[in-house]
């Protein structure tokens, strides 16, 4: 169950990271579109007013702020994903240790069972030998 929980947590953190990256891509696309709009407006030859320049300036500042915030979020999500991966690896390592211990115990059990079987066969062989000797003596 711990393994499944760790796998789910890791998958969830990976999904959130991908969503964060997609959001950053969207912000970058919006910024690029704004720059293209500004360049197109500048090339048209129409008079660019101070109000329009201020609007574009505010837009670009706002987008840069959003992009920086999203980059910070991505760093946090990356760290969270790394933490979840580490937790998953620890659980997997623990399970591997348990599996190795289980295999060792099974091997010890088989060896003990074989020793017991060998003892029984030795006793039967000894009894048969004793009977033969007793039968030959009579």
Residue 75, pLDDT score: 96
User: Using one digit for the tens of pLDDT, what is the confidence trace for 44-78?
Assistant: 766 778 888 899 899 999 999 999 999 999 999 99
Q: Which residue in 21, 40, 43 sits closest to 32, CA to CA? A: 40
- pLDDT band of residue 79 (cuts 50, 70, 90) is very high
- pLDDT band of residue 16 (cuts 50, 70, 90) is very high
Output the pTM of the full model: 0.64
Query: Where do the structural domains in the chain lie, given as residue ranges?
Result: 2-103
Q: How many CB atoms lie within 10 A of CB 61?
A: 10
Q: Are 91 and 3 in contact (CB under 8 A)?
A: yes
In this structure, which long-range contacts are made by residues 67-73, counting pairs with CB atoms below 8 Å and at least 24 apart in sequence? 67/24, 67/27, 67/28, 67/31, 70/20, 70/23, 70/24, 70/27, 71/24, 73/20, 73/23
């Amino acid at each position: 169950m711990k393994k499944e929980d760790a796998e789910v947590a890791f998958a969830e953190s990976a999904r959130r990271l991908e969503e964060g990256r997609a959001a950053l891509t969207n912000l970058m696309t919006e910024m690029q579109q704004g720059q293209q709009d500004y360049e197109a407006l500048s090339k048209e030859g129409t008079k660019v007013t101070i109000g329009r320049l201020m609007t574009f300036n505010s837009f670009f500042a706002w987008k840069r702020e959003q992009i920086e915030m999203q980059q910070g979020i991505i760093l946090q999500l990356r760290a969270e994903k790394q933490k979840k991966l580490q937790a998953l690896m620890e659980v997997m390592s623990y399970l591997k240790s348990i599996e190795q211990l289980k295999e060792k115990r099974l091997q010890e059990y088989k060896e003990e069972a074989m020793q017991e079987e060998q003892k029984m066969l030795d006793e039967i062989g000894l009894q048969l030998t004793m009977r033969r000797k007793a039968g030959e003596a009579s």
